Amino acid sequence: MGRVRVVTDSTADLAPDVARDLDITVVPIRVRIGQEEFLEGVNLTEDAFIARLRAQPRLLPSTVAPDADEFESVYAALARTTDSILSVHLSTRLGATCRMATEAKERYTIRDVCRVVVIDSQMTSLGLGLIAMETARAAQAGRSLEEVARLARAMLPQTHILFFVDTLDYLQHGGRTGKIETILNSVINIKPLLRLEEGEIVLMEKVRTRAKALERLYEFVADFPRVEALGIVHSTSLNEANNLAKRLESIVPRARVTIRRYGPGVAAHLGLGALGVVVYEGLER
């Protein structure tokens, strides 16, 4: 009954028109600012979030994963038109979203009617977004649930994220610094280059200036022998993102580059000045 439906969460930073065209169901995470709580992309836009952070720079936000009940409701709604769902989400080392999706799948009351496969992307932002987009295209092409899930898993080791932040305050407040906490606490006035490895944030290099950090992002992409798709994510640095894409045109044609502002769910942990790249190498043919 029907083709495979793809579900992800709002940390994938998908443009609304992309999610609509690819028929991807996006489950919003909650963003807390002070005593207020919002649903990302529903009653909290990127612009509104940026304005709030600039107006209250000392008020550090936090995020809350959708609960299992919300995922179960999403699966039940989709089960009216399909018997196969791929649910791919934020790294379990960065939040509880994937665990909640798994809990919903395991207790799903009509699982005999609709199969649900939940995958930990080990990614966030456009790293997760690229996987959601590719699997949704495969689903639209009529691939089976097994084939779509196999594609998602194959993409994991071929997708790489490198980014830097303007301040460590947000990562430390959200408890996302993990093993690099002691290293970062001993160094001041740096732009840490951070990479996701097996879903966890690790320190790749420490540089002193934003210009040097941008150069390292360029070199990171340029070092790959093949780049099938490139994501550039920013919050308030569109000119820098565009300039980086232009510099990389000889390596990655602009048609294969996606530039996106990261949304409130990611910005709550990175702040506003971060910039990063997502490299998808592609699969061997």
Q: What's the pLDDT tens digit per position in 134-143? A: 999 999 999 9
Distance of alpha carbon 39 from alpha carbon 65, whole angstroms: 10
Q: Which domain range does residue 270 map to? A: 158-280
pLDDT of the residue at 200:
92
Residue burial 59-90, b: 16+ Cβ < 10 Å; e: rest = ebbebebbebebbbebbeebbeebbbbbbbbb
Which CATH number is 271's domain given?
3.30.1180.10
- 131 pLDDT tier (thresholds 50, 70, 90): very high
How many CB atoms are closer than 10 A to CB 249?
10
Average pLDDT over residues 156-166: 95
CA separation (Å) from 195 to 3, 26, 123, 159?
35, 25, 10, 11
pLDDT of the residue at 212:
96
- 107 pLDDT tier (thresholds 50, 70, 90): confident
Q: Which of 24-28, 102-106, 171-175, 224-228 has the lowest mean pLDDT?
A: 171-175
What is the number of domains present in the chain? 2
pLDDT of the residue at 113:
80
Distance of alpha carbon 44 from alpha carbon 22, whole angstroms: 23
Structure tokens at 176: 């996302």
112, part of any domain: yes
Name the residue with higher pLDDT: 114 or 277.
277
pLDDT of the residue at 184:
53
Same domain assignment for residues 152 and 162 = no
End position of a domain, from candidates 99, 122, 156: 156
Same domain assignment for residues 228 and 131 = no
Same domain assignment for residues 44 and 152 = yes
Same domain assignment for residues 54 and 68 = yes
Give yes or no for residue 176 having a pLDDT over 90. no
Average pLDDT over residues 195-208: 91
Distance of alpha carbon 241 from alpha carbon 212, whole angstroms: 15
pLDDT of the residue at 56:
84
173, part of any domain: yes
Same domain assignment for residues 49 and 118 = yes
Same domain assignment for residues 148 and 178 = no
Same domain assignment for residues 151 and 12 = yes
Work out the mean pLDDT of the chain and round it to a whole number. 91
Average pLDDT over residues 7-36: 96
Report the 3 state secondary structure along 43-61. Answer: CECHHHHHHHHHHCCCCCC
Q: Phi/psi at 32 (nearest 5 deg)?
A: -100, 130
Residue the block writes with tokens 């665990």: 99
Same domain assignment for residues 249 and 150 = no
End position of a domain, from candidates 156, 177, 206: 156
Same domain assignment for residues 172 and 88 = no
